[in-house]
Amino acid sequence: MGLIKMISGGSTDGDSNRARKSRSRKDCMEVEGARRNEVVISFGSEDLKGINLPHNDALIIQARISNYDILRVFIDSGSSVNVIFKDVFVKMDLQSYQLEAVETALFGFTGHVVYLEGEIVLSLTLGSQDLKKTVMISVIVVDSPSSYNIIIERSAMNELRVVASTYHQKIKFPMGARVGEVRGDRPSSRKCYVEAVRADQSKTRKEGKKAKNDEGGRVVEKGEELAGISPLISEHHLNILPGSHPVKPKKRHFGPEKDKVIDEQVRDLLKAGHIREIQFHTWLSNVVLVPKFIEKWRM
């Protein structure tokens, strides 16, 4: 038992086309067998008691995740994955060896790809006293700063048959002939918003300051051009045709001389900060060595 107050960001459908098709077939069967006699869930004026209108607060609740009462749980119907941030993962005494590998990258935290620590199955409990509901959910662990502790996505909400209303700052779910509910934590919602705005402003100031420092000329480090240049000045994107499937050619060996050159240049790129190692890559390509006129190789 414990309480986590705050932090001091793949696809739940699977990492392959086969897994996604299987999930789709399962969803169709579940729709065919949907319960027809469940209690009707509605929201009315009584649900607005204690709420000052108008407001634009996000729906942030408290939930029990594997015997921990977690605050700052963001109900996000637009998310396709359940997310737990690494700081919380560590505070819950969960271990890296419990994680399953995830190859599908995550998008949407900063506009860039977020590579994942792994996936773990945890229990999620909503409600209190005799109106509690528990399900097991797959959660992606993300090493990224966030004002939230956990993000709950739409499939978990659907499994719990949750109906959410940001206007009423409440979620409701059927419990036989009764209705369970959880009210939103508006103070936490506003704190999360303020923290996110401050973090964005701080990041913008730092990038602007760095951009001014770099305007005097480009930085060269270990023979590698553009080291330390802010994305505000120059940023490269690799455009991929929609519908393209990931490609992973087999690793090639170039011979002792070329392998040594590749190793040295990769180390230089790592040291300069242009590249970083990832464990579960979706795309993979062999390097190409091109002879230079000074009897050296360019990778």
Confidence of residue 135 (pLDDT cuts 50, 70, 90): very high
Among the listed residues 11, 146, 157, the one whose alpha carbon sits nearest the alpha carbon of residue 88:
146
Which whole number is the average pLDDT over 145-153? Answer: 88
- Count each helix (H run) and each strand (E run) in the chain, helices first: 5, 16
Mean predicted confidence (pLDDT) in 133-155: 89
**Which is more confidently placed, 169 or 13?**
169
211 CB-near residues (< 8 Å, 6+ apart): 230, 232, 233
pLDDT, tens only, 71-96: 999 998 888 889 999 999 999 998 88
CATH of 2-193, one of 2.40.70.10, 1.20.210.10, 2.40.50.140, 2.40.30.110: 2.40.70.10
DSSP-assigned letter for residue 222: T
Give the model's pLDDT for residue 218: 45
| Averaged pLDDT for residues 94-111 | 74
pLDDT mean over 202-210: 64
Angstrom CA distances, 259 to 81, 82, 252, 253, stand at 40, 41, 10, 7
So what's the pLDDT on residue 176? 87
**Tokens 């990258």 sit on residue:** 105
Yes or no: say if 86 and 141 are a contact pair by the CB < 8 Å rule. Answer: yes
260 and 254 Cβ atoms separated by less than 8 Å: no
What is the three-class DSSP state of 206?
helix
Per DSSP bridges, beta strands 297-298 and 290-291 are: antiparallel
CB atoms within 10 A of CB 116: 25
Three-state DSSP state, 49: coil
Average pLDDT, the chain: 79
Tell me how crowded residue 169 is: count the other CB atoms within 10 A of its CB.
Answer: 22
pLDDT of residue 203: 65
Task: Quick: pLDDT tens for 234-257.
Answer: 667 777 787 888 888 888 888 888
Find tokens 């770099």 and name the residue: 214
Amino acid at position 210, single letter: K
Residue with tokens 């009897």: 295
Look-up: residue for tokens 């704190």? Answer: 191
Total residues belonging to the chain:
299
pLDDT above 70 (res 261): yes
Percentage, residues of the chain above pLDDT 70? 71
- Split at pLDDT 50, 70, 90, the class of 205 is low
- List the domain boundaries for the chain: 2-193, 236-298
pLDDT at 222: 41
- State how far Cα 158 lies from the chain centre: 19
Higher pLDDT, 130 or 9: 130
